[in-house]
Amino acid sequence: QKEVEQDPGPLSVPEGAIVSLNCTYSNSAFQYFMWYRQYSRKGPELLMYTYSSGNKEDGRFTAQVDKSSKYISLFIRDSQPSDSATYLCASSPMDSNYQLIWGAGTKLIIKP
Amino acid sequence: DVKVTQSSRYLVKRTGEKVFLECVQDMDHENMFWYRQDPGLGLRLIYFSYDVKMKEKGDIPEGYSVSREKKERFSLILESASTNQTSMYLCASSRKSNSPLHFGNGTRLTVT
């Protein structure tokens, strides 16, 4: 079993819809959770960074961590075609890049 | 804005060749990383470096080596390329160990 599981998709939704992207993790020591966005033929870029449980909001994006169920989510409101990309979740037991464990990524397609 | 530049976007090499992948960052970051990205497997850390001439193995160092002679440059070396090293290689840097990773746009290596 991988330590961070993520449905590869593709997930296709109409423009304007609310998107929910999810990951599960198995290591209860994970404390730090990140979402990166990767456009085609580009490197990943950081979207959201959260510590422990709870919600964090940034514009149209909300990251949610439920440590009791080991579930992390990224919600995108009012989705736009420009949100079409692969979304990668990553987790770590420490506040350190050296131990990041990555999900495989979910490909998201927003249809105009 | 941080720029991480990988010297080649596409490379085709033959089995047994020695391959050099070069990465340069322009923001005086302490940490540099080499990942490979394969469908369904996510990002896997090959090596990282937290200082000049320092290197640490990641999760999959076998068949690879690295060099960091200058702070801004981190090279990945495949001593004798094999077909199972066909992959997308991503270089990243970060200011500190818990700072966001900044990625290059990747080098797609094909070994025939």
pLDDT along chain A (112 residues), means of 10: 87 97 94 94 93 91 94 97 97 84 95 96
B94 pLDDT above the threshold of 80: yes
Helix (H, G, I), strand (E, B) or coil at B47: strand
Under DSSP, is residue B29 helix (H, G, I), strand (E, B) or coil? coil
Distance from CA of A72 to the nearest CA of B (A): 16
pLDDT digits (tens, 9 = 90+) for B5-31: 998 999 999 999 999 999 999 999 999
So what's the pLDDT on residue A93? 85
Q: Give CA–CA dist A67/A110, Å, rounded.
A: 29
What distances in angstroms separate CA B30 from CA A18, A77, A95, B65, one per listed residue?
38, 36, 16, 19
Residues in chain A, overall count: 112
What pLDDT sits at residue A105? Answer: 95
Per-residue model confidence (pLDDT) at position A1: 66
CA distance to partner chain A, nearest, from residue B98 (Å)? 4
Contact B4/B89 with Cβ under 8 angstroms? Answer: no
**What pLDDT does B100 receive?**
86
Q: Which position has the higher pLDDT, B91 or B99? A: B91
Are B100 and A49 spatial neighbours (Cβ–Cβ below 8 Å)? yes
pLDDT confidence of residue A96: 80
Mean pLDDT, chain B, rounded, equals: 94
Handedness of CA A73, A75, A81, A82 (dihedral sign): negative
Whether residues B42 and A44 touch (CB distance < 8 A) is answered with no
Query: Quick one: pLDDT at residue B25?
Result: 97
CB-CB contact of B28 with B52 (8 Å): no
* CA gap A18, A72 in Å, rounded: 16
- pLDDT for residue B102: 93
Tell me which chain A residues have a C-beta less than 8 angstroms from the C-beta of B92: 43
Token pair for A51: 């510590």
Please determine, for residue B98, whether its predicted confidence score (pLDDT) is greater than 90: no
Of B42, B48, B105, the CB nearest to A103: B42
- B2 has pLDDT over 70: no
SS3 content of chain A, % helix, strand, coil (to 5): 5, 55, 40
- Please name the amino acid found at residue A109: I
Chain B closest CA to A111's CA: distance in Å? 23
For residue B84, the model assigns a pLDDT of: 97
